[in-house]
Amino acid sequence: MSEATETIFSKIIRREIPADIVYEDNLALAFKDVHPQAPVHILVIPKKPIPTLADAESQDHALLGHLLLTAKRVAEVAGLKSGYRVVINTGDDGGQTVYHLHLHILGGRQLDWPPG
């Protein structure tokens, strides 16, 4: 497992950097992306620092399920009734730029496939 390092998301969790937070519980935090790629672009992050999905371990199974259910709840509150996409970028080739596991909720318009 990769060692967790300090990231911008760690600082958002500790409120050292402001974010437009739309949901929080004891395990997760959701906030609007500062560089949205769709009309609705919200990130869901675990408060536990897991660098990538590839670094998740068997003891994280409940947390990973919680993140997906959180994405569902956040999408509902955001009014994404016609659908949305949930994306997890993993590693450099997967397009991950912040090495703290996060889910992108994208919606508010028709999304193309395949993605870029």
Catalytic site positions = 102
How far, CA to CA in Å, does 83 sit from each of 20, 31, 51, 54, 72? 22, 19, 28, 27, 10
* CA 59/CA 47 separation, integer angstroms: 15
